[in-house]
Structure 1
């Protein structure tokens, strides 16, 4: 059975983006990017909101053609192109190759996808994460806590209306100060 895994960066004070959508505080170096590549290469799908998809699609389809990018970024470009994407948006109509659009999250469709063979599916985008959390579709959280206090912006879990019990599965520090906190959702 495939799992749905949240894979996101967060500040020490719980923000996924700073004021004015700032992501400049994300501390992604070659070591962390290589880890991301290793984790994401085995995913069977990227499940994303429109904003996350558009940010990724603006860079990764041709990133391996940029000689200024390091090899880990070139590697991720291939991962991005090869992995199927489901984009959740009510406004987006056109998407790139290997992507489809859904206007809403259908819990039955997502549960059916989880029953199919293959690698886990990664979930990104704060609004879609909250929708999946509320529908109890998330199986694991991989949060990369950056050693920075942003002080404002948009919180990852700003709208949670009920607790989600989790079990700590793994912690891993990286040389740049980022710490992976990996939690599995506890279900009866």
Structure 2
């Protein structure tokens, strides 16, 4: 069975974006950016919600040739990576993406059962639909030293506790990674 990881930048007060939806405060240093590139290389399938897909599709396929090599590398990785985009409003997706417009929970269950690699879920809304069903196996929080006071929370409201076990910490200049496994 594939493992599903939910990993994203998060403010110290638990938000993945600010009240306006901006993530401009998550700008990674080169070491963290390379870590994300290396991590993404190990991901077999990437699951995106509509908002994250639109944000990524607006930027990564269009990185200029004079951009830093680390950004060009991620651009190539992102456009080539198989992606499943979950949206009821999009009618088309590009860059090696498959559109899923119905029953995200069942589709993710199917994808998990169809292999033994690693998948990642990007986007708090998509992750929030999967968390109550126990589909997330690992949480990677990249905590940025900023308090936003509001925005989209990393975790949705939960009906019951999720027991986690700290598996790794790693400090970067711009963030602290906390990697938790579901017990």
The reply to whether TM is greater than 0.5 is: yes
Aligned-residue offset at 1:42: 1.2
- What residue in structure 1 maps to residue 40 of structure 2? 40
Local SS of the residue matching 2:20: helix
Normalised to the residue count of structure 2, the TM-score between the two structures is: 0.93
- What residue in structure 1 maps to residue 180 of structure 2? 183
2:146 aligned with 1:124: no
Aligned-residue offset at 1:160: 2.3
Per-residue deviation, residues 15-62 of structure 1 (Å, max 9, x unmatched): 111121121211311111000000011111110100000000111113
Q: Which runs of 5+ in 2 are unaligned?
A: none
- What residue in structure 2 maps to residue 112 of structure 1? 110
Question: Does the 8 A contact of 2:86 with 2:104 survive in 1?
Answer: no
- What residue in structure 2 maps to residue 140 of structure 1? 138
- What residue in structure 2 maps to residue 76 of structure 1? 74
- What residue in structure 1 maps to residue 161 of structure 2? 163
- What residue in structure 1 maps to residue 11 of structure 2? 11
Aligned-residue offset at 1:181: 0.6
Question: Does the 8 A contact of 1:130 with 1:160 survive in 2?
Answer: no
Q: Which runs of 5+ in 1 are unaligned?
A: none
Task: Quote the Cα distance in structure 1 between the aligned partners of 2:76 and 2:117.
Answer: 17
Distance change in 2, residues 1:152/1:42 (3 Å): same
Task: Quote the Cα distance in structure 2 between the aligned partners of 1:152 and 1:34.
Answer: 29
Question: Does the 8 A contact of 2:3 with 2:116 survive in 1?
Answer: no
What root-mean-square deviation, in Å, do the aligned CA atoms of Structure 1 and Structure 2 show?
1.5
Aligned-residue offset at 1:126: 1.0
Task: Quote the Cα distance in structure 2 between the aligned partners of 1:174 and 1:17.
Answer: 20
Local SS of the residue matching 1:39: helix
Task: Quote the Cα distance in structure 1 between the aligned partners of 2:126 and 2:104.
Answer: 12
Task: Quote the Cα distance in structure 2 between the aligned partners of 1:41 and 1:70.
Answer: 18
